[in-house]
Structure 1
Amino acid sequence: MPSKVPMRLVIVGGVAGGMSAATRARRLDETASITVFERGSYVSYANCGIPYALGGVIKDDAALVLQTPQAVNDRFNIDVQINKEVLSINRENHTVDVRAKGSESIQQVPYDKLILSQGAEPFRPPIGGIDLPNVFTLQTIPDLQKVKAYLAEHGGTRVAIIGGGFIGLEVADALHNLGLEISIVEYMPHVFPPLDADLAGPLHAEIRRHNVNLLLNARIEKIEAPGIDTPGRVVLVDGVPILADLVIVVVGIRARTSLAEKANLKIGKTGVTVNPFMQTSDPDIYAVGDMIESEHRITGRALQLALAGPANRQGRLAADNIFGRKISYRGNVGTSACKVFNLTVASVGFSVTSLLQMGFDPLWVTVHPPDHAGYYPGSHPMTLKVAFEKETGRLLGAQAVGTAGIDKRIDVLATAMQAGMTMFDLEHLELAYAPPYGSAKDPVNMAGFVGSNLLRGDVNIIHAEDLKIGQDAAQIVDVRSPGEVSRGYIPYAVNIPLNKLRENVSTLDKGRRVVVYCQVGYRGYLAYRILKQKGFDVVNLDGGYKSVLEGGFKALQTSREKL
């Protein structure tokens, strides 16, 4: 029998998705010719670690480089060519035009199957001075090296970070270790845009507690370079100057689609269009990672998701399908986590704000359980907010902020969302319990209990943003102890401690709605059950006074000392 003709597989891009595809392809076919073209100087490196290398948490930049071209060739027999840019694709002839860095000559390379894994590029907003020599983006190892070289040559103690998303917060955290003066300039009303505003409140407090100058709703007019006797500045439209020897711009990314566009591949709103098998509109060309749009499990819509985990899985799936394994991508749920000084913030799915903007009509609950058993030393409260469908209880999103155990809970919820679970299912999850690690009622279970109570009609709640206060509004009953109330309370609230509620029911007007609240919600729920069964129109404040205090609802806060 004639020998099998080896497949010629060409991969454009040698980081997460590209190298995952290349090594998976080799494991599936020992005879295939596999070539990877990477326009940069590094392949298979951990760009998520770059902020920590900048701040010295990761001591050696070389630790970010997981493989070298030679190491990949030695182990996998893959031809990895760095500093080589693919300029165009000839779909009819099945070739790509490649040019080496610093060369004018063009090399034509044939392919049977082509995988595009070009990632995304940093967005540079149209601001005066955005191209000054002291202004940098931070996405690649060369970016990291440029920033370090600038600091080594020019010195400086003041850094302005434009953008308060993932990378901006990580950079602020990392650079704080170097003793630099840091400002974060964020265009939106709060940092970490995947969150709702009330969950961002603890992050703002943590950032400012570390002496970082945090500016929200900030509009930048221009950036000015440092002079011989004058400091660099970021100037806001209101005229406020922020002193900055160094400016790092991390305001988002844009999918690299120019090569695909030139090849007349189908492009969506935010990236290259692919099917569940990672194929583009050309069946012989696949695309993966940050440059594509892929289905979100919650909405079914195609969205760009710039995360390394999905990129690696997509690269693997592209190789599977090229070599005959018809495995479809199950879509994203958008799971992420970020360290913000001593806090961790994480989310999955969509925030309530995003869900409302997309036309959903969700329910949501907020709980504040400890990360592990409260009687075991070192426990810390967390805030966990879960959104779900009103009709079915299907999970739509979750957000959490706290000192410990945050990633664990969001990972559980991400798994539940991938499995199509509901709030009712969360009640029944059996999760690891030992006092140093969790509680008999895990925070995920607690969210399930509260959400299921709401769905079953065992409680009716009101959220802080919907609470109206005043003499003509609902009766507000604070069921905490007098000591707790002395540290702050909601205006117009009457204090009736839970244990004395039954004997004081007659003091409440049955003709007016009653809002009950405690510190985190549980005692409020007990008060709700008492009053509901006595015929009152009553609601419990979701998340209790802690959600008011940490969520930034200043109009709902009164300090006893001010009276």
Structure 2
Amino acid sequence: MNNRDNNTSASTIVIIGGVAGGASAATRARRINEHANIILLEKDGYVSFANCGLPYYIGGEIQQREKLLVAKPELLINRYNIDVRVHNKATAIDKLNKQITVENTQTGETYTLPYNQLILSPGARPIVPPIPGIETENVYTLRNVEDTDRIKSFLDLNPNIKHITVVGAGFIGLEMVEQLHNLNIAVTLIELQPQVLPLLDPDFAIMLEDELTQNNIDVLTGDGLQTINPDEQNKIASVTLNSGKTIDTDMVLLGIGVAPNNELATDANIPIGDRGGIKTNLKHQTADPAIYAVGDVAEYVYKPTNQTMRVPLAGPANRAGRIAGTYAASYNPDNEKRYTPHDAHKLDMSPVLGTSAVRVFSLTAAMTGLSLKMARNTDQNIASVTVTANHHVGYYPGATPITLKLVYNADTGLILGAQAIGKNAVDKRIDVIATLMHMNGTVHDLIGLDLVYAPPFGAAKDIVHQAGFAATNQLNNIVNVIQPDEISSEMQILDVRTDSEHAANQIPSSLHIPLDDLRNRIDELNADITYAVICGSGLRSYIATRILTQRGIENVHNVSGGMTSWLRHQKAAKPQQATV
């Protein structure tokens, strides 16, 4: 008998579900309370594994399967003295009597388990559409180690696979497309939305789509899976899309999204939020203060809108698990009171931003907070700038461009979101902006950041600074900035690029005056006309607007992102007319 068994006042903490949220809650609870009885239930066979690493194991970048297992049951048992029960599925919660019903999925045995504190971390499940043929063999989802083993086994046992169809161009879909391509398998990527990675703005998503097609991925956006067509052995022969197109394929991987496993909470009358996740407070308590919810099943406060929503990412899940574990372990069953940790309010869950990144062959796309299309659906006065700059100084070898879009409140300058795409150090820039957003930073704060500068790493005027410069110039009425899709028919487009640039591609009906000739040709312009000034990336057109406004041509707007962004907007809106 151990010391915990001798402690009559020991609290029993039951945690339903492992992985990021549940395992973090369990280990944190033990570090806070050495005497608590901590029981961790996991319906599958692996209690803590790296979800985000699964595609890379399938593709061979991670070669050892063991690397995926973050914390094995033996570690949790021996180091943390946690009662780990894999293949044990909670089937019901009795709030009145503070107990749950559990089924051993291997033996079929059921039993009741009492608790003082209960933490729900059952996660989410892949969405599987109810379409004809969905039960056909070789249709897979990817959510856990068991899914990974099935897919890996299929690929290993069938080395002559010719084609795989990936449905859904979110994070999992894009990662799997890259990994399957690396296995020399032809891939078709299908996305019901009109763009890949729908979280991005269309002009950024088109960069990823171009990268996919340049790597021989067949990308079909604006189309969905209608039927899966089996052969005589009930194996996939082909798929038919909503458009009527039929694709011969050997396997289908569904990456449509996830739905929260909220049934336990629903059956126990624990309130569910508008987005399907369990409602919690900042301590991650549900309406029942003895029950917590964390991870993909819970809703979080989303900072840019101050509304609650599900954010199925590992970072928030880990933080929420740590918070719930802290408070659950501070409970004293003897007097039904809770020990309050020092500065307890500082432990509460901070609003989340959805900061994330994905690699698509040579490109990295990263984002935090609201995209411009999302921000335009809020009731805030929205502004945005797009800038392009090298990830380190151009004179140092290996410099590659990053394109960054900053979204902010046009009244206050509060940063609401950012997205960036490039080959190198993209995540670093988004992490900087996300940190500033966490501290309620504005675009004015961006320009004062003291960031690393050395030729191999950055520039004295980093792209983060440049985004701040562009945004503050707009807020300070130094320049009017518009996005390419805000150019109206009443505006005259003024192209200030060089003659050679203008000859290579041009906007119909645009007026061309190179920047270096602008002062000498300003008499060709009409002060009564509104001009949309455009260059390659937005810098020269900014200089042009400053010349014009100080010389009597005041109705001018700088087209953010320049011709590069305009072309991307055009291509995203009308792919068949991508070339000017």
Q: Is TM (by shorter chain) over 0.5? A: yes
Cα offset, 1:164, TM superposition: 0.5
Report whether the alignment pairs 1:495 with 2:515: no
1:313 to 319, 328, 332: 319
Q: Shift in Å at residue 133 of structure 1? A: 1.2
In structure 1, give the amino acid aligned to 2:454. Answer: A
**Matches of 2:234 and 2:10, distance apart in 1:** 65
AA in 1 matched with 2:354: G
Deviations 1:85-114 (A, max 9, x none): 111111111111111123232111111111
Match of 2:29 among 6, 25, 29: 25
Q: Which whole-Å deviations, capped at 9, do the CAs of 1:152-205 have from their partners, x for residues lacking one?
A: 344522010000011100000111110000000000010111111111111110
Query: How far off is 1:231 after superposition?
Result: 6.6
* 1:230 shift after superposition: 9.7
User: In 2, are the aligned partners of 1:459 and 1:529 still within 8 Å (CA)?
Assistant: yes
Q: Answer yes or no: is the 8 Å Cα contact 1:226–1:245 preserved in 2.
A: no
The structure 2 residue matched to 1:132, chosen from 117, 120, 136, is 136
Distance 1:407 1:40 in 2: 33
Q: Please tell me whether the aligned partners of residues 202 and 551 of structure 1 are also in contact (alpha carbons under 8 angstroms).
A: no
List aligned pairs for 1:194-209, cutoff 5 A. 194-209=199-214
Change (3 A) 1:372 1:513: same
1:62-461 aligned at under 5 Å gives the runs 62-154=66-158, 155-227=160-232, 232-269=237-274, 270-322=276-328, 323=330, 324=339, 325=341, 326=344, 327-461=347-481
Q: Out of 516, 521, 540, which is 2:558 matched to?
A: 540
Paired with 2:421 and 2:524, the residues of 1 have a C-alpha distance of: 38
Q: Distance in 1 between matches of 2:495 and 2:559?
A: 10
Tell which deviates more after alignment, 123-132 or 518-527.
Answer: 123-132
Q: Which moved more, 1:353-362 or 1:435-444?
A: 353-362
1:485, distance to aligned residue in structure 2 (A): 1.9
Contact 1:279–1:287 (Cα < 8 Å) also in 2: yes
Aligned residue in 2 for 1:507: 524
Question: Which AA in structure 1 matches 2:304?
Answer: I
Report how far residue 31 of structure 1 moved.
Answer: 1.0
User: Distance between the aligned counterparts of 2:439 and 2:306, measured in 1?
Assistant: 15
Q: Tell me: CA distance 1:159–1:341, structure 2 relative to 1, closer, same or farther (3 Å).
A: same
Structure 1 position 261, deviation (Å): 1.2
Gaps of at least 5 residues in structure 2 are 1-5, 331-338
Instruction: Report the secondary structure of 1:401's partner residue.
Output: strand
Instruction: Tell me the CA shift for residue 487 of structure 1.
Output: 2.0
What does the per-residue CA deviation read over 1:524-543, in whole Å, with 9 as the maximum and x for residues that have no partner? 00100000011112111111
Note the C-alpha offset of 1:151. Answer: 2.7
In the TM superposition, structure 1's runs of 4+ consecutive aligned residues that sit over 6 Å from their partners are 228-231, 554-557
Q: Secondary structure of the equivalent of 2:549? A: helix
Report if the CA contact (8 A) 1:464-1:553 is conserved: no
Q: Give the C-alpha shift of residue 553 in structure 1.
A: 4.4
The answer as to 2:46 corresponding to 1:42 is yes
1:121 offset after TM fit, Å?
Answer: 0.6
> C-alpha distance in 1, partners of 2:469/2:414?
14
3-state SS, counterpart of residue 201 of structure 1: helix
Contact 1:548–1:556 (Cα < 8 Å) also in 2:
no
The residue type paired with residue 137 of structure 1 is T
CA distance in 1, matches of 2:88, 2:297: 19
Number of corresponding residues? 556
- Cα distance in 2, alignment partners of residues 508 and 440 from structure 1: 36
Query: Which secondary structure state, in structure 1, belongs to the residue aligned with residue 102 of structure 2?
Result: strand
Indicate how the Cα distance of structure 1 residues 229 and 387 shifts in structure 2: closer, same or farther if over 3 A, else same: closer
Deviations 1:249-271 (A, max 9, x none): 01011111001111111111221
Between stretches 79-88 and 208-217, larger displacement belongs to 79-88
Equivalent residues of 2:384, 2:483 under 8 A apart: no
Q: Letter of the 2:184 partner, please give it.
A: G
Change (3 A) 1:538 1:289: same
- CA deviations over 1:33-53 (Å, ceiling 9, x no partner): 111010100011001111111
Secondary structure at the residue paired with 1:195?
coil
> Letter of the aligned partner of 2:507 in structure 1?
I
AA aligned opposite 1:6: A
Q: CA deviation at 1:228?
A: 6.8
Aligned with 2:325: secondary structure?
helix
Q: Structure 2 CA distance, aligned partners of 1:486 and 1:226? A: 54
* Cα 1:229–1:147 shift into 2, 3 Å: closer
Within 1, Cα distance between the matches of 2:191 and 2:572? 21
Q: Secondary structure at the match of 1:366?
A: strand
TM superposition score normalised by structure 1: 0.95
Gaps of 5+ in 1: none
> 1 CA distance for matches of 2:570 and 2:233?
42
With over 3 angstroms needed to count, the CA separation of the structure-2 counterparts of 1:349 and 1:49, relative to structure 1, is same
Secondary structure of 1:483 counterpart: helix
Change (3 A) 1:212 1:553: closer
Residue 60 in structure 1 maps to residue 80 in structure 2: no
Q: Which amino acid aligns with 1:171?
A: M
Residues 105/69 of structure 1: CA separation in 2 closer, same or farther (3 Å cut): same
- Aligned equivalents of 1:222, 1:272: Cα separation in 2: 33
TM-score where L is the length of structure 2:
0.93
Contact 2:136 2:236 in 1 (8 A): no
Shift of 1:10: 0.8
Whole-Å separation in 2 of the counterparts to 1:80 and 1:319: 16
Alignment partners' CA distance in 2, 1:418 and 1:24: 24
Counterpart mapping for 1:459-478 below 5 A: 459-468=479-488, 473-478=490-495
Q: Secondary structure at the match of 1:302?
A: strand
The letter of the residue matching 2:536 is Q
Question: The residue matched to 1:476 in structure 2 has which SS?
Answer: strand
| CA displacement, residues 109-144 of structure 1 (integer Å, 9 cap, x when unaligned) | 111111111111111112211221111101111001
The 1:554–1:82 alpha-carbon spacing in structure 2 relative to 1, beyond 3 Å, is: closer
Q: Is the 8 A contact 1:491 1:556 kept in 2?
A: no
Q: CA deviation at 1:468?
A: 3.9
Local SS of the residue matching 1:211: coil
Task: Please state whether the residue corresponding to 1:234 is helix, strand or coil.
Answer: strand
User: 1:233-254: per-residue Cα shift (whole Å, max 9, x none)?
Assistant: 1111232112210000010111
Letter in 2 for 1:435: P
Counterpart code for 2:18: G
Q: CA deviation at 1:219?
A: 2.7
Offset of 1:463 from its aligned partner?
A: 1.5
1:42-75, Cα deviation, whole Å (9 max, x unpaired): 0110011111111111112221001211121111
> After superposition, what is the alpha-carbon deviation per residue over 1:307-341, rounded to whole angstroms, capped at 9, x for unaligned?
00100000000112221333211111110100011
